[in-house]
Every structure is written in C-alpha cells, then in structure tokens.
Amino acid sequence: MSNKILIVEDETAIARMIAMNLKVAGYETVIYEDGAEAASALEKEHMYDLALLDVMLPGMDGFELLPIVRRYEIPVIFLTAKDDLESKLCGLTGGAEDYIVKPFEVMELLVRIEKVLARNNKVGQVIQILNMEINLEEHTVRQDGVEIPLKPMEFDLLTVLAKNKNVAISRERLLRMVWGIDYVGETRTVDVHIGQLRKKLNLSEHIKTVSKMGYRLEE
C-alpha cells in the first residue's frame, strides 16, 4: 500500500507539480487549496502518512493548521516562501518535522519526505520492483526468491533507484543521496556501482543511461 500524503497549497500550479512528482514516486496525494477547508476535511478523513503545508493560506494559515494536523498524529513538512528565522522557528517548535523554503528541487523534497516517513515508522520495509524484493530492514535483495549479495553502497544505490523508479537522477544527485553531501569524489564512482548492479542483477535492460545526465530504473 502506498503512503498517502496531504498537500495544502493555494498555488494550483505548485500543488499539481508536487502531486504529479509524488505520484511518479509511488505516493497517493490529496490536495486542498484552503487551510480552513483542509481542517474541516480532516475531521472526516485523517488517514494520512504525511502532510505538506504552505504557511500563507486562505481561510487558515499553515501555523494555525499545524496543531489540527498533529492532533491526528500526522507528521508535517512546511513548504513555504517565508524564509525568515522567526517563521522557521515557529514551524519547527510548533511540531513540524521539517521546513523547506521555496523554490526547492523536487528530488530534495522526495528525500526529505522519505526521511520523515522513516523517522515516523511509516515506510514499508519491503520494496517490490521487477522480479526483485528489496528488504530495507534485512538489507537484502532477492531476485526470483534467490538472495543476491550486494555491497552496502550497491544496496543503497539500488534502493534510491527503486524508490524513484522511472525518474531520471543525475550522477551528482546520486552521489549526494547515496554517498552523502560531504562525499569528495568523482561521479565515476556512480558509473562503477551502476555497472555492478547491472551485472549482478541482470538489469542492463532496466537501468537506463540518460545521456549527459545520469540513470533511470525502469519498471
């Protein structure tokens, strides 16, 4: 079952862009463009794994909406143009898990969503893709029921590709997401590990090279 995410954002284009990218990444989304409407709707339906809230909303602003969302134990990430320290502190001390300032990169949002879901034990421990079963808790990969041994970085790289299936990711982003933001090294490292995944898991037809950019795992 996919995670269900509530989006409360009054800019229609931004809300739809977020929802589209989350859908590609395997999430289910519901959009509200008015804070008061979202608060009212939560009384009837509040089975969400995460909420993305703008601060400046009609009806009820994000800071007012925050305690209502948290009442249902839904973790919150703020997505807002308000980048002043007072607003950030208000959001984070009020119970939000994260605070992201617009404009932001979609890939960064996906990574932060994943971390918040994991922190709140709302992430499934097994990813099923193609003929593979990736068990995040056991740190194992089984292909047609047979365990295939992978090195730690190979496993982490495969996990990132699987969680972002059908999405092209640059070598630089893969370096940051797998090896860490402080990693000092060449993007050639990514190419070497991709080669190992293709070989060990027979994924040459599924891990596509995106010219002058990076890679995409196609299901």
70 and 87 fall within a common domain: yes
Q: Which of 100, 119, 138 is the last residue of a domain?
A: 119
Instruction: Report phi then psi at 135, rounded to 5.
Output: -100, 110
**pTM (2 d.p.):** 0.63
At 125, list the tokens.
Answer: 């421990």
Which element (helix H / strand E) includes 22?
Answer: helix 12-24
Range of the domain at 206: 126-217
Mean pLDDT of the residues in the chain: 90
Structural domains in the chain (count): 2
114 and 132 fall within a common domain: no
Q: Which of 84, 119, 154 is the last residue of a domain?
A: 119
115 and 130 fall within a common domain: no
Q: Looking at the predicted structure, is the pLDDT value of residue 1 above 60?
A: no
Residues 37-53 have pLDDT tens digits of: 999 999 999 999 999 99
Instruction: Give the per-residue pLDDT at 126.
Output: 81
Q: Which residue has the higher pLDDT, 174 or 33?
A: 33
CATH code, domain with 96: 3.40.50.2300
Q: Looking at the predicted structure, is the pLDDT value of residue 3 above 60?
A: yes
Instruction: Give the per-residue pLDDT at 124.
Output: 66
Instruction: Give the per-residue pLDDT at 75.
Output: 95
Which element (helix H / strand E) includes 217?
Answer: strand 214-217
Which residue, 49, 42, 177, 53, is CA-closest to 120? 49
3-state DSSP assignment of residue 45: coil
130 and 50 fall within a common domain: no
Question: Averaged over 9-36, what is the pLDDT?
Answer: 92
Instruction: Give the per-residue pLDDT at 208.
Output: 96
Q: Residue 29: left if φ>0, alpha if ψ -120 to 50, beta else—which one? A: beta
Residues 92-145 have pLDDT tens digits of: 888 999 999 998 888 889 888 988 988 887 766 788 899 999 988 788 999 999
CB 61 within 8 A of CB 39: no
Of the candidate ranges 7-16, 46-55, 185-194, the one whose mean pLDDT is the lowest? 185-194
Q: What is the CA radius of gyration of the chain?
A: 19
At 168, list the tokens.
Answer: 């092209």
With bands split at pLDDT 50, 70 and 90, how would you rate the model's confidence at 26? confident
Q: Looking at the predicted structure, is the pLDDT value of residue 203 above 90?
A: yes
Q: Please give the C-alpha separations between residue 137 and each of 20, 78, 100, 118, 198, in angstroms, as whole numbers.
A: 29, 28, 28, 11, 23
